[in-house]
Amino acid sequence: MPDRPPVFDDREDAVLTDAVAALVESERALAELEAARTVQFAAAMRVALERSKHRPRAVQEREMALRSIAAEIGVALRWNDRTVQRRLGEALQLVDDFPATLQALTEARISARHAAVIRDVGVELDDPVAREAFESRVIERAATDTVAGTRAFARAVAEELHPVSISERFAHAEQQRRVWIDDDVDGMARLGVLDGAAKVRAMYDRLTRQARAIRSVPQLESAGDGPDDVDDRRTTDQIRADLLCDLVLTGQPAIDPTAETLAGGLGAIRAHVSVVVPALTAAGASDRGASIDGQSPIDADTARRLLAGAPPAWDRVITHPVTGAVLAVDRYRPSPAIQRFVRARDVHCRFPGCRRPARACEIDHSEDHARGGPTARTNLACLCTRHHTLKTETAWTARQGPDGSIEWTSPLGRTVSDRPERYVAFVPEPDPPPF
């Protein structure tokens, strides 16, 4: 049985309690100030648009009024004028198209980063009615969730309300795929790639799995002289970068320390991604609802290809038709049912704000098994290694409710609730083709 966490000095707790309270108050004040600044930026943008009406027809000439005002503000604030110009447009967009978000920011119910997520994701919805519905739902989520959690939820809601299917939009967006390079300092450069979410996430997953395989090879305390001695002190990020360069330049990793311990070496490692495909989409009756790792929507054709090419190990997730909550999970090929259920329900690590996919998490007893916690779905949750360790080694506690929600309590007594992910319910399209 693990030792209980140490008891800290009450004076230290008092200092920490005051610091947290002050930070919360600072965040509230910053939200109010950001809302006021947004209104002022929008007012300046309106002046720029009004003045541009009197300019000649040439686009560059019409933009001079905006550039001049951006430069004026940039000099006053010691900002780059290009940054100011971008902020002017974003501010007017928030004021005109997302008034409820601006109000929530003014009332400090959400932060400026939450507001930016709502604006960036919601801008895809041109219909004011759909945008208003999107705003209402996402603001409610943002008031109790992190920026990352809000972004994932906002993308799902926007996908639900978008008038054009993801398949049609993907067909157009796929034409924009590209690779680019940006120079950095100290002889470094960045290589970027824009392509389908399924491919990009799979590439990243394979690099990560190969990097972990390399790091799992026993390391020496100091470099040796033997041909089999390994002294690899690279970080996971560094290994991923090296592997990507090797794979692109040579077709396979140039250095493979796993060759003697891993069947097939690094080349045998393949990418793993978690794909959610609604039954109607899988059957071809709909083109909506498919996603990668509970975050990135993917087009229906890609989802169906992944489904067709996968081994017979897909989970069937049965959800509530209204709330989207997971009700049951089964699979043709048997495997531990409780693990399947928990991973399907949780989607990602259940510590507030963490988005690490459930497939990369450990299944933890909310109430320690050693202290009588049952091995039941109402007492199990996915936690990444970082947050599993935090719960085990510190005074953080987790209490799980019957619906899978978890109430976390910090060492200072602050509580925050994390609800299980709700799959967005999609309304079937009219006149589906016969099965």
Radius of gyration of the CA atoms of the chain, in A: 25
CA distance 337 to 334: 8
Asked whether the beta carbons of 189 and 182 are under 8 A apart, the reply is yes
| Token output for 2 | 């693990």
| Token output for 178 | 């590209």
pLDDT, tens digit, 9 for 90 and up, residues 205-218: 999 999 999 888 87
Assess whether pLDDT exceeds 50 at residue 228.
yes
Strand partners, 406: 400, 418
Task: Report the candidate in 337, 385, 392, 339 with the shortest Cα–Cα distance to residue 366.
Answer: 392
| Helix runs in 58-196, H state only | 59-77, 81-97, 99-106, 112-122, 128-142, 147-161, 166-173
CA distance 166 to 164: 7
User: Any idea which residue has 């960045």 for tokens?
Assistant: 190
Asked whether the beta carbons of 280 and 286 are under 8 A apart, the reply is yes
Asked whether the beta carbons of 304 and 287 are under 8 A apart, the reply is no
Mean pLDDT of the 69-78 span: 91
pLDDT, tens digit, 9 for 90 and up, residues 399-431: 999 889 999 998 888 899 988 877 654 445 555
Q: Global pTM?
A: 0.69
pLDDT, tens digit, 9 for 90 and up, residues 250-262: 777 767 777 777 7
Phi-psi region at 264: left, alpha or beta (left = phi > 0; alpha = psi -120 to 50): left
pLDDT of 334 reads 31
pLDDT of 322 reads 65
| Token output for 159 | 């996908």
User: Any idea which residue has 């190990």 for tokens?
Assistant: 313
pLDDT, tens digit, 9 for 90 and up, residues 22-41: 999 999 999 999 999 999 99
